[in-house]
Amino acid sequence: MKTNRDIVRRITVDERLDANLIRILISELFDDVESGEIVDDTIWWDEESKLVSDLRSEDIERASKSVVDWSTLLREWGIPERIWPRWDDLAEGQVYLEGAYTLRKIEDSIMLQRAPKIRHIVRVDLVPQVKDHRDRMYNRIFMRRARLA
């Protein structure tokens, strides 16, 4: 049976809707993937959205039923409090990898490898390989059309 300890999640900050409200997107690494390039979209499940808030749970419950408390969520995932991303620092476009894994640079690629004893959360959207991958994927559409013209 899969436990929380086995799960590796890719968390994207999609939109800050209000000072107290953010939509995040969560996708989990496929169960049978032990390692892979972090920019490889085929190793992750499709994303699910979740509204999170920094308000206390009782205040959220009073205001909305579809919102979860950010600190409760991180606690449920088993992330040590000392490494939680600060609420005020969360901004759209950020990507975090959460879970038990290591990252290793092999030639020009950043490889993710499951590593059960190491559990952490790391921001990866500023890694050049991640940014470059997105832009390369986008631009190749225009490059192909230019070649066809």
Partner 1 sequence: MPKPIQPEDLVFHFLNVGFGDNILIELPADEDGKRSYGLVDCCDHEKTKGYLKELQKKRPGETNFRFICATHPHYDHISGINNFLKDPDYRPEEFWESGFRHQSKTYMNIINSIHEHDIKLVRVSSGMEWYFGKVQVTALSPSIRLRNRYATFGVDMNNSSVVLRFEHHKEDYLLTKSLEYKGTKSEEIERQAGRSVVVLAGDAEFDSWAYVADEYPRLEASKTHQPLVKKMINPLACRVIKVAHHGSMHSSPLDIYEKMNPNLAIISTKQEVSTKQIGDMTLERGLFPHPSSISSLEEVGATILTTDGCYESSTVDGQPRNPDCDRCGTIVVVVPPGGDPRYDKLDDDEYTVKDPPTDV
The footprint of partner 1 (CB under 8 A) covers 10, 12, 14-15, 17-21, 23, 25, 27, 41, 44, 46-47, 49, 51, 53, 55, 59, 63-64, 66-67, 92-95, 125, 130, 134-135, 137-138, 140-142, 144-145
Name the residue nearer to partner 1 (CB basis): 46 or 88.
46
What is the closest distance, in whole angstroms, from the C-beta atom of residue 25 to partner 1 in the complex? 5
Residue 106 CB partners (closer than 8 Å, separation 6+): none
What is the closest distance, in whole angstroms, from the C-beta atom of residue 101 to partner 1 in the complex? 17
Taken in order 103, 105, 111, 116, the sign of the CA dihedral is negative
For residue 37, how many other CB atoms are within 10 A of its CB? 15
What is the closest distance, in whole angstroms, from the C-beta atom of residue 79 to partner 1 in the complex? 20
CA distances (Å), 76 to each of 62, 72, 109, in order? 21, 6, 31
Name the residue nearer to partner 1 (CB basis): 88 or 142.
142
d(CA 140, CA 6): 35
Name the residue nearer to partner 1 (CB basis): 80 or 134.
134
Name the residue nearer to partner 1 (CB basis): 128 or 138.
138
What is the closest distance, in whole angstroms, from the C-beta atom of residue 39 to partner 1 in the complex? 9
Beta pairing class for 67-69 and 48-53: parallel
Per DSSP, the three-state class of 78 is coil
